[in-house]
Amino acid sequence: MTDPTLAAQLDFLLSCDRLKSVVRTTRLHDGSRPENSAEHSWHLALMALTLAEYAPAGTDMAQVVRLLLVHDLVEIGAGDLHFDAQAEALAAQAAAEAKAAKQLFGLLPEPQAAKFTALWQEYEVQRTPESRFAKALDSLQPMLLTWGQTADGAGGLGCAGAVPELTVRRVLKLKRSALADFPQLWQAAERLLQEAERAGVIQP
């Protein structure tokens, strides 16, 4: 290929295809198999489009979608980590993700590499309204798959067998920092767990 910019961009896109093979700790809503990280990113982008009205006024939703599509690409090199992991594991994961970001985004030509790196860093630093709303959606999505109830009565199967320590109280404590600044989403998370408790798929 004679165009080096296009060649680099296509190499990056092919490398990103590996995200489809990164297995997450969250299972699909029907429990049939684990979700992969590419499916997770798609679902988050769809959540941003669907739940935009719950973002603070003035939030740039196009930027939220960009953040959601980019922030998990580093899992190609670092893998996924359960949200209830210990501090030591979280620190190791952060280091692995930083290394993966440098390698993956480095495939792109400048200044595009810098733009993708900036998106990843914006999400990680959590200083903008867009990054905080993106984080809230990222916190809510696994809860929907694991414990959510659909209108036709199909419910998430929970994870009490695999992770019995994830009680209602424990999950709300872990999710509060990401969701509490968005009252409607926080209330939805609380109701979701209350319904799951009544269904017997999570302990109080």
The domains of the chain are located at 4-199
The helix (run of H) or strand (run of E) holding residue 27 is: strand 23-27
Q: pLDDT tens across 146-185, in order?
A: 999 998 888 899 998 888 899 999 999 999 999 999 999 9
Q: Is the pLDDT of residue 63 over 80?
A: yes
User: How high is the mean pLDDT of the chain?
Assistant: 94
C-alpha to C-alpha distance for 94 and 99, rounded to whole angstroms: 9
Quickly list H helices, 54-128: 61-70, 75-78, 87-105, 112-125
Beta bridge partners, 149, equal 155
pTM value is: 0.93
Mean pLDDT, to the nearest integer, of 32-47?
97
pLDDT at 85: 64
Question: Which residue in this structure is represented by tokens 């029907």?
Answer: 30
Q: Which CATH superfamily is domain 4-199 in?
A: Hypothetical protein af1432 (1.10.3210.10)
